[in-house]
Structure 1
Amino acid sequence: MASSKKNDTKSYGAVADSKVVAPTEQGREVDKKLDQHLNYEFGGPWGVTAMMTGFPMLMYYLWICLQFYDGHIVYPSSLDDVKPFLLRMWGHVRDDATPTPYAFAIYSTFFFYQLLLAFIIPGYKQEGLPVPSLNYKTLIYNCNALGCFYTTIVTVAWLHFSDTFRLTEVIDHFGEIMSVAMIYGFAVSFGMYFITVLRGEQIRMSGNFAYDVFMGAALNPRIGSVDLKMWAEVRIPWVILWMISLAGASKQYDEYGYVTANMWFMVLATFLYLNACCKGEECIPQTWDMFHEKWGFMVIFWNFAGVPFTYCYSIIYMATHDPAKYEFSTLGYVALYATLLTAYYIFDTSMSQKSRFRMQMQGTYKFRWTFPQLPWGTISNPKYIQTAHGNRLLIDGWWKYARKPNYAADLVQSLSWAIVIWNASPIPYFYPVFFVTVLVHRCGRDFERCAIKYGKDWEEYCKVVPYRFIPYVY
């Protein structure tokens, strides 16, 4: 008993009582092991090949069901109907999702405009975490997403209200633009792979072409001051998704003369998510996505096409269907909005707590005021477990209730995005169902890595924080 107490005294602490930490020699040896290709994930080469070919087909299928079959799941009625069914599906893709020059112009203009803004808009300089792959070098990130976002709002408003480019065009040409987004996803993924290999900058390679394209070859690809991985994570998917919500609202207004409370919900929900990413962009360099995850098809295609063109299904449904099919009672709307705002608060503050804790650990934390700064976004003297690796594991704030509390909040938000049309169509429920699968798998990947990295300290941490991401449930 006395031994246990002594260990607790040694392992637990508060940031204010200690110096900036760095990996120990033992920690560096573990990091060196983790910075190699250890085993195949996602089912290996066959699994990732199936995902690279199957997911675009699934995107087309779900969009066709939503757009042309009143949101119902359609399938062949018999074996004899399989061929005619496939021909009908192909006909919809051919006739309504061909990547036209007009669609290329829309997506490309947006894409390169966001890249231009990333270069020219002033930003907040944030130092990232030490990167083991770069011998613990820290990179400086130009966090200007918020300025780029506000500039985009002004630009889009001028284009829409001047009739230069009305947002409803996004809804009217959704299939075509989605196809272009997929082309960009494939082109950048393969292009980035070949460029990285030709420059000899590849890391953690398996030796299998398909698998390495999927996982990526580059860790921190940059063009000048723009970190492409961080730029693509925020500036492309969430800005497009928010614009799709505005396009849906514009479509409703043109059709009915008003915008439903359900559609306003999606405008608010996508705005909150995008604004959270932009206002807290300095927190992103502290995440696993930046200092460990490579920039491959898994991330690139998802940012360029997957997120904006699958998370929007409730918006597309509402933009093309009678509001009577999904209207709520007043109490229903109150519950829906309250759920969103509560989940958003937990999501925002939990992400902020963890990232700012890491900055406190590193000695790089400086308060950056952006709107809105929510209460409890930063923990004063947070409690932690000191590991033999040298890192510290946060056990305070939201993080004393679960190892991934942000995942639980994120999942509730995704579910609310589907519930907004209730049972009018099952298609929007793809987002939360897919998302919970991703979160469970990501937890497994992350925790397996942490178990290797921290050893017995991870076992102690799991005793202190037993739940993965849903407190008292999972």
Structure 2
Amino acid sequence: MSGTTTATDPSQLRQRTPGGSTEVTVTDEGRKTDKLLDSHTRWEFGGPWGVTAMMVGFPMLMYYLWICLWFYDGQLVFPTSIGGIKPFLNQMWAHVRDDASPNLYAWKVYSGLIFYELFLAWVMPGYMQEGLPVPSLGYKTLMYKCNALFSVYFTLATAAVLHYYHIFRLTEIIDNYGHIMSVAMIWGFAVSFGTYFWAVARGEQMRMSGNFIYDVFMGAALNPRIGPVDLKMWAEVRIPWVIVFFLAVSGACKQYEQYGAVTPNMAFMCLATWLYLNACCKGEECIPQTWDMFHEKWGFMVIFWNFAGVPFTYVYSVVYMASHEPEKYQFSTRSYIALFATLLTAYYIWDTSMSQKSRFKMQTQGIYSYRWTFPQLPWGTVKNPTYIQTAHGNRLLTNGWWQFSRKPNYVADWTMSFTWGLVVGAASPIPYFYSVFFITVLIHRTTRDFERCALKYGKDWERYCEIVRWKFIPGIY
């Protein structure tokens, strides 16, 4: 399969600006579609009413699921099971008020992590990576300081010292889950609204709808920065996945203190969360090539999810195991082998498919440079890849994992999410929330992405879909 060239090679259309960034010239056709894509043309997520419902409803759902996990044996409770709607609401509120109040301790723990991670992102040495050309900036590219690997492992070392000397015991994280979650939610709302007003005051808003709450949800600014720190990329790695990993470690420490050992299930979650965190750090230079950096604005949808949604809904299995006897979720040796094997296989496909796509974009820009970090997996870079050259000026990869489906990374990512619930078996349905919610997000995001690509690439997209037939799973869908 060979790439079909229908437009000038974009690597030949690059020129350096005085500031050192790269400005890319695209075809006239590409400029027209980019201008359309870079403007507000329709409501998403149900418009203002839909995003309002999500902004109100999701925090309530987070409280409800946590209460069911911690206080109702991991089972879903309903008004009919506890005497009617009024007693139900009274009990829910009592748990939020007493067990999830945003107390001073939670403020110190959560805010301390935020400011520490921001400080490390500012001062730690890093790898400077050039991002994709941004249409709203006249196709200039931005430079990103990639120092997550140094920052995160320095954070882990700091936490180990604090735990060893009993200054801050890691078990306290899971014990104060509700309180810290409330503080995280407040941070999510505050940063979302604060960033919106800051962007508008500075005239940096873009792709606005004119509806206040919708624009807060979708965001106003594309790449807000503090000094050398790109806040959107910083928040995507340094906050959610660090907390997710610490919650798993906290659960393991709690089990060790209670039983003198850590269950294979909890060890599985420590491995799973470390794999994800480490992958984000070791491949941080690939993040500037993603849709999140290139197109998605920094609004409530992204901010709240990074500050509160991901860390406090993805590890419900850890919360369940930390609050229940191991006998409730023990497996056979064969089941454990199958579980670990599924995780590692899915991780390999996810890691290498993400790497292939991002490095292909860097190769197209002429900025790819191999950076060794652990673990670098075989087939992480496709040599002499096949692709479709579009009239827009971009290239569509048709090699590596991307020859089998248009979203191989999503399939692998979702499979990992499913194992995060499967680790407790049938003991509780709530840990499966991550995979159920995640597949909904992925399908919705795929629809948005494919619609955008169809508009952006036209007949070239149709030809791409003929070559890469399957959306997700080859031969199935």
TM range (shorter): over 0.9
Distance 1:256 1:80, change over 3 A: closer
Superposed, 1:17-166 pairs within 5 Å as 23-77=26-80, 81-166=84-169
Q: 1:471 Cα shift?
A: 2.1
Structure 1 counterpart of 2:175: 172
Q: 1:232 Cα shift?
A: 0.1
Q: Secondary structure at the match of 2:55?
A: helix
Confirm or deny: 8 A CA contact 1:189 1:297 kept in the other structure.
yes
1:434 aligns with 2:440: no
Distance 1:178 1:387, change over 3 A: same
Q: Which amino acid aligns with 1:167?
A: L
Normalising by the residue count of structure 2, what TM-score does the alignment of the two structures yield? 0.96
Structure 2 counterpart of 1:202: 205
Q: Secondary structure at the match of 1:254?
A: helix
Give the whole-Å Cα distance in 2 for the aligned partners of 1:78 and 1:185.
33
Confirm or deny: 8 A CA contact 1:418 1:431 kept in the other structure.
yes
Confirm or deny: 8 A CA contact 1:118 1:226 kept in the other structure.
yes
Q: Which amino acid aligns with 1:199?
A: R
Q: Secondary structure at the match of 1:385?
A: strand
1:284 aligns with 2:297: no
Distance 1:116 1:423, change over 3 A: same
Confirm or deny: 8 A CA contact 1:22 1:391 kept in the other structure.
no
Q: Secondary structure at the match of 2:133?
A: coil
Confirm or deny: 8 A CA contact 1:232 1:300 kept in the other structure.
yes
Q: Which amino acid aligns with 1:308?
A: P
Q: 1:28 Cα shift?
A: 1.0
Give the whole-Å Cα distance in 2 for the aligned partners of 1:80 and 1:98.
25
Confirm or deny: 8 A CA contact 1:214 1:297 kept in the other structure.
yes
Structure 2 counterpart of 1:362: 365
Distance 1:320 1:9, change over 3 A: closer
**Residue 325 of structure 2 is aligned with which of 322, 331, 346?**
322
Confirm or deny: 8 A CA contact 1:283 1:352 kept in the other structure.
yes
Q: Which amino acid aligns with 1:54?
A: G
Unaligned runs of 5+ in 2: 15-23
1:185 aligns with 2:160: no
**Residue 452 of structure 1 is aligned with which of 455, 459, 472?**
455
Q: Secondary structure at the match of 2:51?
A: helix
Confirm or deny: 8 A CA contact 1:12 1:384 kept in the other structure.
no
Judge which range, 458-467 or 425-434, deviates more.
458-467
1:378 aligns with 2:374: no
Structure 2 counterpart of 1:275: 278
Q: Secondary structure at the match of 1:325?
A: helix
Structure 1 counterpart of 2:348: 345
Q: Secondary structure at the match of 1:142?
A: strand
The percent of aligned pairs where both chains have the same amino acid is 69
Give the whole-Å Cα distance in 2 for the aligned partners of 1:102 and 1:342.
40
Measured on the aligned residues, the alpha-carbon RMSD in Å equals 1.8
| Number of corresponding residues | 467
Q: 1:24 Cα shift?
A: 1.2
Unaligned runs of 5+ in 1: none
Q: Which amino acid aligns with 2:61?
A: L
1:464 aligns with 2:467: yes
Superposed, 1:406-425 pairs within 5 Å as 406-425=409-428
Cα offsets for 1:334-390 (capped at 9, x unmatched): 000000000000000000000000000000000011111000000001000011101
Q: Secondary structure at the match of 1:77?
A: helix
